[in-house]
Amino acid sequence: MITNAYPASLQELIRQLAKLPGLGEKSATRIAMHLLRADRDAVERLAASIQELKQRIRTCERCFHFTDQPLCAICADPARQNGALCVVESSADLLALESAGIFRGTYHVLQGTLAPLDGVGPDDLRIKELIERLQREPISEVILATNPTSEGEATAHYLLQAVRHRTLKVSRIAYGIPMGGDLKYTDRVTLERAMEGRRTIQ
């Protein structure tokens, strides 16, 4: 419980901060105290960048990664249009692959996985947009890089069926990432092995 010894506005800040992932009330209080002592400029810059996040960040109209332009930096780079398209669940997974620096093509962010029990079907993901890209862009290989969880596997399987009739190389990342694992928590070497060890499934 946040004690009443704090002024109301400080209590409110602690409550809001404590909702952030990885922060409990203790660390929220520590951050609030830090902001209280920090100079006004620094605090205003932080507040402005949080506000800008919601005002300016949108999704790329081609791949659905986060961007503040119509196209993200990867889609806007002609050198990345090399025919390889890597399909990931989330922008966090895309960023993990990018930080590892192991893939030089373009991406498609599904914004989730199929989860019929939670009511998430193909129409809730960016699958229609993926199929349209395959018709429009000169893509020769699709790498299915959904996570090796049961939902990720089911989504990869669904996508394989959806593109089966096309003349297209389809591969699935394979080695290195353990079952139940998550790309964004996987180290660079393991990601690299998973990408190199991808197997053709069409």
Please give the residue ranges that form the binding site for Zn ion (CB under 5 A).
Answer: 60, 62-63, 65, 72, 75
Q: Specify the DSSP class assigned to residue 122.
A: G
Q: State in angstroms the smallest separation of the CB of 51 from Zn ion.
A: 24
Rounded to whole angstroms, how far apart are CA atoms 99 and 92? 10
Q: Is 145 in contact with 106 (CB distance < 8 Å)?
A: no
Q: State in angstroms the smallest separation of the CB of 85 from Zn ion.
A: 11
Q: State in angstroms the smallest separation of the CB of 91 from Zn ion.
A: 10
CB-nearer residue toward Zn ion: 63 or 177: 63
CB-nearer residue toward Zn ion: 65 or 172: 65
Q: What is the DSSP track for 152-183?
A: HHHHHHHHHHHHTTSS-EEEE--SSSPTT--G
Query: For residue 199, what is the enclosing H or E element?
Result: strand 199-200
Q: State in angstroms the smallest separation of the CB of 200 from Zn ion.
A: 25
CB-nearer residue toward Zn ion: 63 or 96: 63
Rounded to whole angstroms, how far apart are CA atoms 15 and 109? 32
CB-nearer residue toward Zn ion: 137 or 196: 137
CA triple 58-195-88, angle to 5 deg: 25
